[in-house]
Chain A
Amino acid sequence: MSASLERGLDRFRESLDADTAGFFATCVRCGMCAEACLFYTETEEPRYTPIHKLQPLKRLWWREYTLVGRIAAALGLSKPVTGGELADWSELVYDSCTLCGRCSLVCPVGNDITYMIRRMRDGMAAAGYAPPGLVGATRRAIELGSPMGVQLATLQAQIRHQEEATGLPIPMDREGADYLVLLSSMEIVNTPEMLGALARIFDRAGVSWTLASDAFEATNSGIQIGVAELAREIVMRTVTAAERLGVKGVVSPECGHAYMALRWEGPDLIGRPYRFEVLHILELLDRLRGEGRLKVDSTFNLPITFHDPCQVVRRGGVTEAPRNLLKMVATDVREMEEHGVYNWCCGGGGGVSAIGRAEELRLKAFGKKRGQIEATGAKTVATACANCRVVMEEAIDHYQIGVELVGLTELIADHLETEESHHG
């Protein structure tokens, strides 16, 4: 047995706490998680049943932590978990799971399958079975500061463009600002207009904000690959910058895992509470709307639907804010049949969009979302996660569907009440 396999199995052993053991022991094998997983519904292959993706971890638990399993193992009636088995499961634990959390939501006995997949990814990564694409992204996130390799110079160039386009300053490293705003590298590279949108909204609403030169990246590849210490290192960058600048709040951008990592996992990872609040950008915008500081003077009048990013809505709890905002800016909002906490994933969350070998499966899994979008009849889909947006845009190009994606923040910025209209 290789040293790395042993280290991976040791991480499995570490992760088998009372919660996980309880989950395995109480699974009633009803199969409802299969119907909740878009990788199963779109392929109908039983191996994509969520609980089955945990089989090696479950076997290790049974063999080493239960009485009957221990006896069976001692008598040679069950085989140990091997490297080959983990290699086979790499596709199941990484490529075919976006950590969307729908299986955990529907489990009738309350087993948090998503949480266990995260724990299993820890051991898988330690044993060397993380997909190369995700390993590369994680390396760039740790060494360069961003999973897409975006450097400060790139950001500075985009800032200059957006300052020119909007005529507004985009502050950097401003101490004492109210909010430190993070970005995802997807936004910096693919949709830099988001920066301009933020500048216009914050200018209009009178929000004091800043970017940080040493912590502009929100994406947390450590969470996606499943290694806690790497996730901690990335969270710590934001915490250090926020506390150095003395901000009241940190605003997570339109990115799903960034929000979940910073808001819900962060304090556990660093082992202490934050000295600032964490908000998703939509939460901040909805707050401004409630205070009357965010107004629009025109509306989007074509049919529009909203794709709920799993980590923001189902796993993050930001359910009402996007709807309040959308109702403010659009007149023909059409909800998908299963929306809010019951939404279906775009197919590329949880790091899957960084896994090159998963592309074919990802496009197949998009069938669910495609059906949902087409059923609404809307040709415009708003969302609040740059990763969902890019994944869906790629799939829409692939299938030639003729649907347009828009970030909700941008949509609001486009219809923002101007100084003239306000006074005029």
Chain B
Amino acid sequence: MEKVTVYAAMRAGGMSRRAFLQACGAIAASLALPPGSGRAIARALERTPRPSVIWLSFQECTGCTESLTRAHAPTVESLLFDMVSLDYHHTLQAAAGGAAEEARREAMAANHGRYLLIADGSLPVGHPAYSTIGGVSNLAMLQEAAAGAAAVIAMGSCAAFGGLPGATPNPTGAAPVSEVVRDRPLVTIPGCPPIPAVIVATLAHYLTFGRLPALDPLGRPKAFYGETIHDRCYRRPFYDRGLFADTFDDEGARKGWCLYKLGCKGPTTYNACATTKWNGGTSFPIQSGHGCLGCSQPDFWDGGGFYRADALPFGPLTPTATIAAAAGVAVGGAVAAANRRKRAKARAAHRPITVDDLEKGQEETP
């Protein structure tokens, strides 16, 4: 099985050479790689054996998997399952119970140091007993699997940042993968769920170049998380002209104006939804009339309400703010009064300038 290359597996799956090359070109384009990289990707995939992938699910909702498997064939997303040898995945594998766990251990031992580890869901670090599989805590399973992994992918916002399980009050003490795995190359692909094409492109990059793509400070591939939704939003011109929908059924909403006032988190959310879109490029939330929730940003559940505009304060003005405002007014008033006195003094000292003065000054100066 290990000798089978990515390309061979894809051809065996019924893909034509032409479709394969087109897919490689699409991957290169989505990663913003230079023209010609599509060929490089194709050559690499022709030679590279399909890597073994272990997919572990922790405190999650299976939404990430659903997102991937809802991909329409033949799309870029469907390549994923041809590209890798998926040796363990709760939802997708046929085996169950002890046999499944045995398969996982075998794959890990056979490919030690070479397999890719994908983790979705957060880890109940505060109370490891809250989530176990076959009697093994999530925390112990991740630590064991990560030890033999070539690289780790934290899939979805729960694995990347803690997500819903980590939202206040966070009863399980949920933590992201990055707090457990510290000594392996780690890429985070946040989103609730993440965009399938992003997952595929990240894998293709790894298979082609043997390393992870360029990452931002939160570990996200820059090619997809380099710009905000807002920067690329087709409704941006309305924002720039100050045209906003104030309710979901007003004239502005019908005319497709900016949803900022209805709580759209596009300006603070880094993701590729506005360009890559969803469901085979059909649409994305803003295009269907709802603001961005900011699902690929850390702590988005605790961001103060989906329908609250970004610029509004989270709570009512506290006494601190009132005191600060009063102090600001007082200091401003005092400075203004002092300035008025200073100007008045200068005006009182005003003496008309004669032409003689114009020359006198020059003689006095050193």
Q: Evaluate contact between B343 and A13: CB separation under 8 angstroms.
A: yes
Chain A positions within 8 Å of B353 at CB level: 125-126, 227, 229-230
> Provided the pairs A13-B343, A17-B343, A126-B353 are in contact, do residues A67 and B335 lie with their beta carbons within 8 angstroms?
yes
Q: How far is the CA of A17 from the CA of B346 in the complex (A)?
A: 12
Tell me whether B351 is interfacial, beta carbon within 8 Å: yes
Q: Evaluate contact between B362 and A132: CB separation under 8 angstroms.
A: yes
Q: Which of A3, A66, A143, A230 has the largest count of B CB atoms less than 10 A from its CB?
A: A230
Tell me whether B254 is interfacial, beta carbon within 8 Å: no
Q: Evaluate contact between A128 and B358: CB separation under 8 angstroms.
A: yes
For chain B, residues 307 to 366, give those with C-beta under 8 angstroms from any C-beta of chain A.
Answer: 331, 335, 339, 342-343, 345-347, 349-353, 355, 357-366
Shortest distance between the CB of A119 and any CB in chain B (Å) = 13
Q: Which of A66, A128, A130, A135 has the largest count of B CB atoms less than 10 A from its CB?
A: A128
> Provided the pairs A2-B365, A67-B331 are in contact, do residues A135 and B350 lie with their beta carbons within 8 angstroms?
no
Of all chain A residues, the one with the shortest Cβ separation from B335 is A67
For chain A, residues 1 to 60, give those with C-beta under 8 angstroms from any C-beta of chain B.
Answer: 2-5, 7-8, 10-11, 13-14, 16-17, 21
Chain A positions within 8 Å of B366 at CB level: 83
Chain B positions within 8 Å of A126 at CB level: 353, 357, 361
Q: Evaluate contact between B343 and A4: CB separation under 8 angstroms.
A: no
Chain A positions within 8 Å of B342 at CB level: 13, 64-65
Q: Evaluate contact between B346 and A128: CB separation under 8 angstroms.
A: no
Choose among A14, A16, A127, A230 the residue that contacts B355 (Cβ–Cβ < 8 A). A230
> Provided the pairs A14-B346, A66-B335 are in contact, do residues A5 and B355 lie with their beta carbons within 8 angstroms?
no
Chain B positions within 8 Å of A225 at CB level: 358
Chain B positions within 8 Å of A111 at CB level: none
Shortest distance between the CB of B224 and any CB in chain A (Å) = 32
Q: Evaluate contact between A4 and B350: CB separation under 8 angstroms.
A: no
Tell me whether A142 is interfacial, beta carbon within 8 Å: yes
Q: Evaluate contact between B351 and A129: CB separation under 8 angstroms.
A: no
Shortest distance between the CB of B338 and any CB in chain A (Å) = 8
Of all chain A residues, the one with the shortest Cβ separation from B347 is A14
Q: Evaluate contact between A3 and B364: CB separation under 8 angstroms.
A: yes
> Provided the pairs A14-B347, A67-B335, A229-B353 are in contact, do residues A125 and B364 lie with their beta carbons within 8 angstroms?
no
Q: Evaluate contact between A4 and B364: CB separation under 8 angstroms.
A: yes
Q: Evaluate contact between A129 and B346: CB separation under 8 angstroms.
A: no
Q: How far is the CA of A138 from the CA of B335 in the complex (A)?
A: 38
Of all chain B residues, the one with the shortest Cβ separation from A9 is B346
Of all chain B residues, the one with the shortest Cβ separation from A16 is B343
Shortest distance between the CB of A147 and any CB in chain B (Å) = 12
Shortest distance between the CB of A93 and any CB in chain B (Å) = 14
Q: Evaluate contact between A125 and B358: CB separation under 8 angstroms.
A: yes
Chain B positions within 8 Å of A293 at CB level: none
Chain B positions within 8 Å of A16 at CB level: 339, 343
Tell me whether A289 is interfacial, beta carbon within 8 Å: no
Of all chain A residues, the one with the shortest Cβ separation from B350 is A14
Chain A, residues 122-155, CB within 8 Å of chain B (1/0): the string is: 0001111110100100110011000000000000
Choose among A14, A66, A230 the residue that contacts B343 (Cβ–Cβ < 8 A). A14
Q: How far is the CA of A204 from the CA of B60 in the complex (A)?
A: 95
Name the prevailing secondary structure of the B interface residues: helix
Q: How far is the CA of A225 from the CA of B357 in the complex (A)?
A: 13
Q: How far is the CA of A126 from the CA of B365 in the complex (A)?
A: 12
Q: Which of A2, A8, A70 has the largest count of B CB atoms less than 10 A from its CB?
A: A2
In the complex, how many residues of chain A place their beta carbon closer than 8 angstroms to a beta carbon of chain B? 36
For chain A, residues 194 to 253, give those with C-beta under 8 angstroms from any C-beta of chain B.
Answer: 225, 227, 229-230
Q: How far is the CA of A306 from the CA of B351 in the complex (A)?
A: 43
Q: Which of B331, B350, B361, B363 has the largest count of A CB atoms less than 10 A from its CB?
A: B361
Q: How far is the CA of A139 from the CA of B359 in the complex (A)?
A: 10
Q: Evaluate contact between A4 and B355: CB separation under 8 angstroms.
A: no
Q: Evaluate contact between B351 and A135: CB separation under 8 angstroms.
A: no
Q: Evaluate contact between B339 and A129: CB separation under 8 angstroms.
A: no
Chain B positions within 8 Å of A143 at CB level: 355
Q: How far is the CA of A289 from the CA of B345 in the complex (A)?
A: 53
Q: How far is the CA of A64 from the CA of B341 in the complex (A)?
A: 12
Q: Evaluate contact between B343 and A5: CB separation under 8 angstroms.
A: no
Q: Evaluate contact between B349 and A10: CB separation under 8 angstroms.
A: yes
Chain B positions within 8 Å of A10 at CB level: 346, 349-350
Q: Evaluate contact between A4 and B352: CB separation under 8 angstroms.
A: no
Chain B positions within 8 Å of A13 at CB level: 342-343, 345-346
Q: Evaluate contact between A7 and B351: CB separation under 8 angstroms.
A: yes
Q: How far is the CA of A108 from the CA of B98 in the complex (A)?
A: 71
Chain B positions within 8 Å of A14 at CB level: 343, 346-347, 350
Chain B positions within 8 Å of A139 at CB level: 355, 358-359
Shortest distance between the CB of B55 and any CB in chain A (Å) = 51
Tell me whether A87 is interfacial, beta carbon within 8 Å: yes
Q: How far is the CA of A129 from the CA of B363 in the complex (A)?
A: 10
Q: How far is the CA of A69 from the CA of B1 in the complex (A)?
A: 73
Q: How far is the CA of A16 from the CA of B343 in the complex (A)?
A: 8
Shortest distance between the CB of B197 and any CB in chain A (Å) = 39
Q: How far is the CA of A70 from the CA of B357 in the complex (A)?
A: 31
Q: Evaluate contact between A2 and B355: CB separation under 8 angstroms.
A: no
Choose among B331, B335, B349, B357 the residue that contacts A4 (Cβ–Cβ < 8 A). B357
Chain B positions within 8 Å of A11 at CB level: 346, 350
Q: Evaluate contact between A128 and B343: CB separation under 8 angstroms.
A: no
Chain B positions within 8 Å of A8 at CB level: 361
Q: Evaluate contact between A4 and B351: CB separation under 8 angstroms.
A: no
Q: How far is the CA of A83 from the CA of B364 in the complex (A)?
A: 10
Q: Evaluate contact between A229 and B355: CB separation under 8 angstroms.
A: no
Chain A positions within 8 Å of B365 at CB level: 2, 4-5, 83, 87, 127-129
Of all chain B residues, the one with the shortest Cβ separation from A69 is B335
Of all chain A residues, the one with the shortest Cβ separation from B361 is A128
Chain A positions within 8 Å of B350 at CB level: 10-11, 14
Choose among B335, B339, B358, B364 the residue that contacts A135 (Cβ–Cβ < 8 A). B358
> Provided the pairs A2-B364, A3-B364 are in contact, do residues A142 and B355 lie with their beta carbons within 8 angstroms?
yes
Sample (7) of A-B pairs whose CB atoms are under 8 Å apart: A7-B361, A13-B343, A64-B342, A65-B335, A70-B335, A126-B353, A143-B355
Interface pairs A-B: 6 shortest CB-CB: A128-B361, A4-B361, A13-B346, A128-B362, A10-B346, A2-B364
For the complex with contacts A65-B339, A87-B365, A132-B362, 20 further pairs of A-B residues with Cβ separation under 8 Å are A2-B361, A4-B361, A5-B361, A7-B349, A11-B350, A16-B343, A64-B342, A65-B342, A125-B353, A126-B353, A127-B365, A128-B357, A128-B361, A128-B363, A129-B361, A135-B358, A139-B359, A142-B355, A225-B358, A229-B353
A interface vs B, CB < 8 Å? 2-5, 7-8, 10-11, 13-14, 16-17, 21, 64-67, 70, 83, 87, 125-130, 132, 135, 138-139, 142-143, 225, 227, 229-230
